[in-house]
């Protein structure tokens, strides 16, 4: 079984990687749900002046026929008024097949044409099914996590983030 | 017998009536509609959930608003929409309803949105599709005879929830020609299922069902023949359109007479709670069932109803055709 460093350490890691890449106009875009929590932590640590944005990928998921997606109610994307020409950093907790990121990019482009989009994740668990890579990644597993397992991010009432390993 | 709208897993495959749909399903549709309200505010007012699907609007009876909002909803879901104006097509040449359906099915239809003057026509189509093993084609009732208009009922519930949040504390008045109204029937089923404790049916005796409890089964229904009794202290007023043809059947003396007794004027509206909302499914007859001062007033949510109708229809269509495995 593979284990991860504590989520707080991973966030510190990611903050350190992001700091040099941030400009005053950079906007963090958390991907619902875990990515929004991570983005909130990063946003606070980096003391960004730009408002935090969030994105919901339900409309663009490719797995509706598998019974996924469009389940969570009321989750909507909150993107900057002007996506056109913006520097955006998509934030997610775990990078796996890449399908969520593909859907997030499609959703993003429904709002305009950003100048640049980066991807920041806490964990890359391997198992990519699309040609997608993270620009910033706090931790990469040495070998891919089996498909039957998943890392689940949880947020405690005090806002503390933690990963647990789950079996499907 | 299983509800013909549901598959063996209890999932919605057709939307024919709100009768028999659980609270869970109704709330599920309303919840799913929420994110769709934001689609219209994007640069690209389209999502790809029904990409590559063909939606046929079969309107055997005239309707502008309902057909248009269904068309917009389907197009915002990226479906191809084919509008059939049946009055000028094969039906006029004598083709039967089911022959029309068979022909359109042979054109790879994925969904039929049906408006028909006869109650039960959408059921007939759904049954026919099941009997001919074409249950992958979905049917949405866009109003059939005096029976049901489920998407109107749903968009009304969406509107009420938007402004009033909790159904279980509300007093709601439905005013007008309830007896002949498919809109009222769908509204009443939904209001009762969602737990509204005080539902008042308001109108003249000739336009109300003789025994309210026979229209739908609910203990929260109350009949009021006086508009004042019906409106006192309510949170929501749902006006119905007075259909002109009712005048001819000697059910009503005259439009002026009706307005005097049942028209919603600012004075009558003042009987309701100060924050009561006024709804109307359209098209409105100003000066017959509703005064212009009310229709254009602060408490009217008639135009938001139309906007929400698109989101609700997107939710229904995406649940039927964009959702679970076939």
pLDDT digit string, tens, across residues B167-217: 999 999 999 999 889 999 999 999 999 999 999 999 998 888 876 545 666
Task: State the pLDDT at residue B326.
Answer: 34
| B322 and A CB contact within 8 Å | yes
Q: What angle do CA B229, B178, B12 make, to 5 degrees?
A: 120
State which H helix or E strand residue B83 sits in. strand B80-85
Q: Which of residues 24-43 of B touch A (CB under 8 A)?
A: 31-32, 34-35, 38-39, 42-43
Q: Is the confidence at residue A11, as pLDDT, over 50?
A: yes
In a domain, A2, yes or no: no
Contact A73 B318 (CB under 8 A): no
User: Chain B residue closest to A57 (CA)?
Assistant: B47
Task: State the pLDDT at residue A3.
Answer: 83
Indicate which CATH number applies to the domain containing A103: 3.40.50.2020
What does chain A come to in residues? 168
Task: State the pLDDT at residue B10.
Answer: 86
Instruction: Select from A53, A72, A73 the residue whose CB has the most chain B CBs within 10 Å, as the one to mutate to test that interface.
Output: A73
Residue B6 neighbours by CB under 8 Å, 6+ apart: B12, B13
Distance from C-alpha of B294 to C-alpha of B300, rounded to nearest angstrom: 7
Provide mean pLDDT across the span A60-65. 75
Range of the domain at A97: 7-64+76-167
Rounded to the nearest 5°, which phi and psi values hold at A164?
Answer: -130, 150
Using DSSP bridges, classify how beta strands A149-155 and A161-167 pair: parallel, antiparallel or unpaired.
Answer: antiparallel
- Quote the strand ranges of B86-157, DSSP E: 111-116, 138-144
At B86, is the pLDDT very low, low, confident or very high (cuts 50, 70, 90)? confident
Instruction: Select from A70, A80, A82 the residue whose CB has the most chain B CBs within 10 Å, as the one to mutate to test that interface.
Output: A70
**Residue numbers in B near A76 (CB within 8 A):** 34-35, 38
In a domain, A101, yes or no: yes
- Count of structural domains, chain A: 1
Task: State the pLDDT at residue B210.
Answer: 74
Contact B49 A56 (CB under 8 A): no
> Topology of domain B23-149+308-321, per CATH?
Rossmann fold (3.40.50)
Distance from C-alpha of B136 to C-alpha of B125, rounded to nearest angstrom: 13
Provide mean pLDDT across the span B97-108. 92
Residue B193 neighbours by CB under 8 Å, 6+ apart: B18, B21, B22, B23, B26
Q: Which residue has the tokens 């490719």?
A: A62
**Which pair of tokens denotes residue B100?**
């029309």
Task: State the pLDDT at residue B65.
Answer: 86
Of B257, B262, B200, B259, nearest to B227 (Cα)? Answer: B262
**Residue numbers in A near B42 (CB within 8 A):** 110-111
- Quote the strand ranges of B86-159, DSSP E: 111-116, 138-144
Q: Which of residues 121-150 of A touch B (CB under 8 A)?
A: none
| B47 and A CB contact within 8 Å | yes
Residue A165 neighbours by CB under 8 Å, 6+ apart: A1, A2, A3, A149, A150, A151, A152
Task: Estimate the crossing angle of helix B23-36 against helix B302-321, to 10 degrees.
Answer: 110
pTM of the predicted structure, to 2 decimals: 0.87
In a domain, A55, yes or no: yes
Q: Is the confidence at residue B325, as pLDDT, over 60?
A: no
In a domain, A71, yes or no: no
From the list B34, B43, B325, the residue facing A65 with the nearest CB is B325
**Residue numbers in A near B316 (CB within 8 A):** none
Distance from C-alpha of A34 to C-alpha of A72, rounded to nearest angstrom: 13
Is B199 within 8 Å of B191 (Cβ atoms)? yes
In a domain, A69, yes or no: no
- Strand order across the beta sheet in which B80-85 lies: B80-85, B54-59, B111-116, B138-144
What CATH number is given for B150-306 in this structure? 3.40.50.1370
Q: Is the confidence at residue B263, as pLDDT, over 50?
A: yes
Contact B324 A67 (CB under 8 A): yes
In a domain, A135, yes or no: yes
User: ipTM of this predicted complex?
Assistant: 0.73
CA distance B53 to chain A (A): 14
In a domain, A14, yes or no: yes
Task: State the pLDDT at residue B244.
Answer: 72
Chain-centroid distance, C-alpha A31: 5
Instruction: Select from B9, B10, B49 the residue whose CB has the most chain A CBs within 10 Å, as the one to mutate to test that interface.
Output: B49
| B48 and A CB contact within 8 Å | yes
Where do you find CATH 3.40.50.1370 in chain B? 23-149+308-321, 150-306
Of the listed ranges B212-216, B259-263, B291-295, B312-316, the least confidently predicted one is B212-216
Per-residue pLDDT tens for A118-163? 999 999 999 999 999 999 999 999 999 999 999 999 999 998 999 9
**Residue numbers in A near B46 (CB within 8 A):** 110
| B10 and A CB contact within 8 Å | no
**Residue numbers in B near A60 (CB within 8 A):** 47-48
At B44, is the pLDDT very low, low, confident or very high (cuts 50, 70, 90)? confident
Distance from C-alpha of B51 to C-alpha of B323, rounded to nearest angstrom: 12
Contact A83 B325 (CB under 8 A): no
Per-residue pLDDT tens for A66-94? 544 455 455 788 888 888 899 999 999 99
From the list B42, B318, B322, the residue facing A111 with the nearest CB is B42
Task: State the pLDDT at residue A69.
Answer: 47
Is A150 within 8 Å of A29 (Cβ atoms)? no
In a domain, A160, yes or no: yes
Task: State the pLDDT at residue B292.
Answer: 97
Distance from C-alpha of A59 to C-alpha of A1, rounded to nearest angstrom: 34
Provide mean pLDDT across the span B94-117. 91
């Amino acid at each position: 079984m593979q284990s991860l460093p504590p989520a707080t350490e991973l966030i510190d890691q990611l903050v350190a990687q992001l700091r040099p890449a941030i400009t005053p106009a950079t906007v963090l875009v958390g991907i619902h749900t875990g990515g929004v929590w991570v983005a909130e932590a990063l946003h606070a640590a980096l003391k960004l002046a730009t408002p935090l944005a969030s994105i919901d990928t339900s409309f663009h998921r490719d797995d509706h026929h598998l019974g996924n997606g469009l389940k969570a109610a009321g989750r909507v994307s909150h993107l900057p008024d002007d996506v056109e020409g913006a520097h955006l950093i998509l934030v997610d907790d775990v990078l796996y097949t890449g399908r969520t990121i593909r859907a997030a990019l499609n959703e993003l482009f429904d709002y305009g044409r950003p100048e640049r989009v980066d991807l920041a994740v806490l964990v890359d668990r391997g198992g990519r099914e699309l040609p997608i890579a993270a620009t910033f990644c706090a931790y990469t597993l040495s070998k891919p996590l089996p498909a039957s397992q998943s890392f689940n991010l949880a947020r405690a009432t005090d806002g503390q983030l933690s990963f647990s390993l789950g079996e499907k | 017998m299983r509800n013909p709208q549901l598959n063996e897993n209890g999932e919605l495959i057709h939307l024919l009536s709100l009768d028999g749909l659980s609270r869970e399903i109704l709330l599920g549709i309303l919840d799913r509609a929420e994110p769709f309200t934001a689609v219209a505010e994007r640069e690209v007012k389209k999502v790809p959930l029904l990409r590559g699907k063909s939606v046929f609007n079969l309107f055997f009876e005239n309707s502008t608003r309902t057909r248009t909002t269904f068309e917009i909803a389907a197009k915002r879901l990226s479906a191809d929409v084919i509008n059939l104006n049946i009055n000028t097509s094969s039906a006029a040449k004598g083709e039967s309803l089911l022959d029309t359906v068979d022909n359109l099915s042979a054109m790879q239809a994925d969904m039929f949105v049906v408006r028909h003057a006869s109650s039960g026509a959408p059921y007939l189509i759904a049954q026919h599709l099941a009997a001919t093993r074409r249950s992958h084609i979905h049917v949405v009732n866009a109003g059939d005879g005096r029976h049901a208009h489920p998407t109107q009922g749903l968009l009304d519930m969406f509107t009420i929830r938007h402004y009033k949040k909790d159904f279980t504390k509300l007093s709601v008045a439905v005013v007008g020609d309830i007896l002949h109204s498919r809109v009222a029937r769908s509204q009443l089923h939904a209001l009762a299922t969602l737990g509204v404790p005080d539902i008042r049916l308001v109108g003249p005796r000739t336009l109300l069902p003789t025994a309210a409890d026979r229209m739908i089964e609910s203990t929260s229904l109350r009949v009021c023949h006086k508009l004042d009794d019906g409106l006192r202290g309510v949170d929501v007023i749902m006006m119905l359109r007075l259909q002109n043809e009712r005048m001819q059947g000697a059910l009503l003396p005259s439009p002026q007479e009706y307005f005097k007794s049942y028209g919603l004027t600012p004075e009558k509206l003042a009987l309701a709670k100060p924050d009561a909302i006024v709804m109307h499914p359209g098209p409105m007859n100003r000066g017959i069932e509703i005064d212009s001062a009310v229709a254009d007033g602060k408490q009217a949510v008639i135009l938001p109803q139309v906007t929400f109708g698109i989101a609700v229809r997107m939710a229904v269509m995406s649940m039927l055709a964009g959702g679970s495995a076939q």
